[in-house]
Each structure stands twice: as structure tokens, then as C-alpha cells.
């Protein structure tokens, strides 16, 4: 960490020295050196603030997407006592246990996923054509 800080200060000083040498006929070496050093510190600070703001905006966007995804799991279901309706966010991989404020009982919501094969309906005309192309076997006596 100290090595990194010393490296950055050395580079900043070298760049400020070049600026001081270039501008010394106009404002003097040390004035130009100080201005160059200050300019580099300020520009670095502005750049870091810009990057941090961009990261914060991206983080907020990701957080909003996650909240939106959670709200898609919002489910409404009745309590077995019949006196209350739950409007809750469910978690597919988690334990969904809720306490009914009316009957003061714990209610577990079980989620069952059933895989179903998606098929296309038969085209009856093609099926009949295929059947008509098959020659019936002659009956043997």
C-alpha cells in the first residue's frame, strides 16, 4: 500500500516536473510544478468520482432488477381457516412458512414443480396419407 502510494506520487511529481520545465519561461518552474500537481490530483479525484457514480448507478440497476424479480414471485393464497388471505413473496428454493394473524397458526406453502412435455398436435391429413400408403398384409389361409 505504501509502495503504491509512493509510486503514484513519483509519477505525479515527474509529470509535474515536465509541466514545470515546459512552462517555466511563462510562470516559473515552481508555479507550473504546483499547478501541474494540483491539476493531476483534481482530475484524478473527478475521474474517481465519475467511476464511483457509474458503479453506484449500475449497482442500483442490478438491485432494482432483483427486487423486480422477487415481486414476480408475489402470490396470493387463502389460509386454511378461511378468515385470511396471504399476499406474500415466495421463494422457490426456500421454506415458505407464514403465520396467520386471524387463527395464529403457521401455514406452510408447498410448491410442487411438475415437468410436462410440450407436444404439437397431429396433422390428421398427413397421418391418414401415411396410413393409406401402408399396404395391408394379405391374409394367409
Query: How do residues 9-56 score in pLDDT, each as one tens digit?
Result: 899 999 999 999 998 888 999 999 999 999 999 999 999 999 999 999
Q: For 28-82, where are the alpha helices, taking DSSP H only?
A: 29-71
pLDDT in tens, 121-136: 777 777 778 777 876 6
pLDDT tens digits, residue range 86-114?
Answer: 888 787 777 788 899 989 889 888 777 78
Q: What is the pLDDT of residue 121?
A: 74
Question: What CA–CA distance (Å, rounded) separates 107 from 113?
Answer: 19
Quote the pTM value.
Answer: 0.46
**Sequence spans of domains, the chain:** 2-71, 74-108
Residue 28 gets the label, from left (phi > 0), alpha (psi -120 to 50) or beta, of left
pLDDT > 50? residue 118: yes
pLDDT score recorded for residue 137: 60
Amino acid at each position: 500500500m505504501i509502495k503504491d502510494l509512493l509510486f503514484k506520487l513519483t509519477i505525479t511529481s515527474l509529470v509535474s516536473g515536465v509541466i514545470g520545465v515546459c512552462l517555466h519561461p511563462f510562470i516559473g518552474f515552481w508555479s507550473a510544478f504546483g499547478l501541474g500537481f494540483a491539476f493531476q490530483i483534481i482530475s484524478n479525484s473527478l475521474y474517481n468520482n465519475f467511476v464511483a457514480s457509474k458503479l453506484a448507478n449500475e449497482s442500483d440497476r442490478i438491485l432494482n432488477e432483483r427486487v423486480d424479480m422477487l415481486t414476480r414471485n408475489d402470490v396470493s393464497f387463502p389460509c386454511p381457516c378461511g378468515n385470511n388471505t396471504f399476499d406474500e413473496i415466495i421463494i422457490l428454493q426456500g421454506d415458505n412458512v407464514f403465520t396467520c394473524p386471524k387463527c395464529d397458526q403457521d401455514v406452510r406453502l408447498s410448491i410442487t414443480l411438475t415437468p410436462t412435455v410440450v407436444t404439437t398436435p397431429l396433422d390428421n391429413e398427413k397421418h391418414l396419407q401415411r396410413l393409406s400408403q401402408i399396404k395391408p398384409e394379405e391374409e394367409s389361409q
